[in-house]
Amino acid sequence: MQQAEDLLAKLTAAERERLAKLNEDEENADQERSLADAGKYANVAGRGGVAIKYALAQIGDRYVFGAAGLINWDCSGLTMRAFQAAGVSLPHSSRAQYNYGKSIARKDLLPGDLVFFGKPISHVAIYVGGNRMLHAPRTGARVKIAEFSLGKKPYIGARRL
């Protein structure tokens, strides 16, 4: 993280502005794809389906660390509120949420399962099927549907509530 901050500090104002514009363009494209894909995931039944529908309605909302809605979210705030809509009480912590429900092997994932990333666990998302997940990814990003991967943060496991 410090390396990234050091690099940013070396950029000119014009370069920082260009980088911010590229990031915003990428986020806008992600939002268009997420909204176009949302209908594919709205027909899941059960608790997981209720949670998915709730989270789908938040697509486009901004990520803010520590936020739990109703217009800003962090990853565990989104999953906490989504499952609260389904009648499941979860803590506002990805690491703590990993202790709830039943452990599920990656090959057995179903839409509505929570998926966890990072060592130690630092991210949670809702699996929606087709190697895709719904999540509030990071500062500067918005709630979206994305590929089932977090780059350098390793997949740790999944839980079914």
Residues labelled as active-site residues:
75, 123, 135
**What is the C-alpha to C-alpha distance for residues 47 and 114, in angstroms, rounded to an integer?**
12
Which is nearest to 78 in space by CA: 161, 149, 34, 137?
A: 137
* Whole-angstrom distance, CA of residue 47 vs CA of residue 113: 10
Strand order in the sheet with 132-135: 102-104, 155-160, 114-117, 123-129, 132-135, 144-147
Structure tokens, 107: 């090959």
CB 94 within 8 A of CB 124: yes
